[in-house]
A and B are shown apart, each in its own frame.
Chain A
């Protein structure tokens, strides 16, 4: 008899952003997320629920993370912002369709395993 047991652990890192995500904070935010990619994280849940304002520089940070994660075989899923001032740019640029979105955040784990 032969028994083969395998186990796969999917590591998902949750990034919670809040407040104003704009050109001023884009550089430190990018550096923090790049550090996560560098340490081998490929699956990200970005919870934007409490983001109050998002501009194109802030959005570029998310797009950069998405590119790097997908290149590594992973993905980035978003919990969309509640505030219209943050949601507006995602709709106008259609990035709300480029990213997979999950709601509530607890659904994210299941969505990564699909």
Chain B
């Protein structure tokens, strides 16, 4: 099965729960394997989107956050597009889990929850891509 769903919301913290709810609804009716990992993908999406709002739009700039949800056979791909300042989450160092701290877990969680995470600056926009293989 191949299918694409596009979500487009204001890049603000208030609107991020819309993304999670839509992702959950999509996964649950897609396939049992997708429903089973919907929670993991939702947390990764929340972390990626929060990074964009807090870092890409840190200067108070307003903008949109576009999220493509794509399934192709046994893989779900989530792509986030934004026009905020360049912010490469993959450069954030891994947290030391033996030394608890308040911040710096976003990218760690995205990597733990997804099979692949990458970032590119394409023209004047950022593209964050996360992939999750479906098992079963």
Contact = CB atoms under 8 A, between A and B. Distances in A.
B39 interface: yes
A94 B108 CA distance: 12
Interface residues of B, number: 26
Given A59-B105, A88-B40, A24 B100 contact: no
Interface size range of chain A in the complex: 20 to 34
A36 B112 CA distance: 34
Nearest to B98: A94
Interface in B1-42: 13-14, 16-17, 20, 39-40, 42
Nearest to A94: B97
Interface of B: 13-14, 16-17, 20, 39-40, 42-43, 46-47, 50, 53-54, 95, 97, 100-103, 105-106, 108-109, 112-113
Interface of A: 20, 22-24, 53, 55-57, 59-60, 63-64, 67, 84-85, 88-89, 92-95, 98
